[in-house]
């Protein structure tokens, strides 16, 4: 059985909720990533911050990224998966919630992230096609 721990990218790092978005952007550059899990004071997942969040949700709104915190950008219920979960559960979680990045948790601590690139490296073409169709599918516009 292939698990989340088998396909994840190890070495993922938190951005503390109190940290500013300019620091988050610097950390993303240093790590060469486009997203960071946000942690609360107890190192528990409280959100995910993407480079797009910083640009669209802060800069484009005329806010100063040196004054806005990662925690202020955390919205909704963050999704995650246990390192021991089967890859089928990983795909289901990502498809069900139409997400492209999934933090991996072990013993209540962040141990990795699963991204589209990780899926591409470890899954069959059919699995990737099914995943992409469900994650990128647009919901019909409401009247």
Mean pLDDT of the 85-98 span: 91
- The domain that holds 66 is classified in CATH as 3.10.580.10
116 has pLDDT over 80: yes
Contact status, residue 90 vs residue 114, Cβ threshold 8 Å: yes
Radius of gyration (C-alpha) of the chain in whole angstroms:
16
Look at residue 67 and tell me if it is in a domain.
yes
Look at residue 47 and tell me if it is in a domain.
yes
Mean pLDDT of the 81-98 span: 92
Which one has a higher pLDDT value, 7 or 135? 7
How high does pLDDT run on average in the chain?
89
Q: What pLDDT score does 138 carry?
A: 59
Q: What pLDDT score does 129 carry?
A: 85
pLDDT digits (tens, 9 = 90+) for 13-71: 999 999 999 999 999 999 999 999 999 888 888 999 999 999 999 999 999 999 999 99
Look at residue 143 and tell me if it is in a domain.
no
Look at residue 104 and tell me if it is in a domain.
yes
Mean pLDDT of the 106-112 span: 90
Count up the domains in the chain and report the number: 1
Query: What is the full DSSP assignment across the chain?
Result: --BHHHHSEE----EETTSBHHHHHHHHHHHT-SEEEEE-TTS-EEEEEEHHHHHHHTGGGT--TTTSBHHHH--SPPP-EETTSBHHHHHHHHHHTT-S-EEEEETTEEEEEE-HHHHHHHS-HHHHHHHHHHHHPPPPPP-
Look at residue 142 and tell me if it is in a domain.
no
Look at residue 98 and tell me if it is in a domain.
yes
* Range of the structural domain that residue 16 is part of: 4-137
pLDDT band at 137 (very low <50, low <70, confident <90, very high): confident
Contact status, residue 36 vs residue 48, Cβ threshold 8 Å: yes
Beta bridge partners of 109: 106
142 has pLDDT over 50: no
């Amino acid at each position: 059985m292939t698990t989340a721990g088998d396909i994840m990218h190890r070495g993922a790092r938190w951005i503390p909720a109190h940290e500013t978005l300019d620091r988050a952007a610097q950390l993303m550059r240093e790590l060469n990533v486009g997203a960071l899990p946000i942690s609360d004071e107890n190192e528990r997942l409280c959100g995910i911050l993407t480079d797009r969040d910083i640009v669209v949700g802060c800069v484009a709104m005329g806010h100063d990224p040196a004054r806005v915190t990662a925690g202020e950008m955390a919205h909704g219920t963050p999704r995650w998966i246990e390192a021991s979960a089967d890859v089928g559960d990983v795909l289901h979680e990502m498809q069900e919630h139409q997400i492209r990045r999934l933090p991996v948790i072990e013993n209540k601590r962040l141990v990795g992230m699963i991204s589209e690139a990780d899926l591409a490296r470890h899954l069959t073409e059919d699995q990737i096609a099914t995943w992409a169709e469900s994650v990128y599918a647009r919901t019909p516009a409401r009247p």
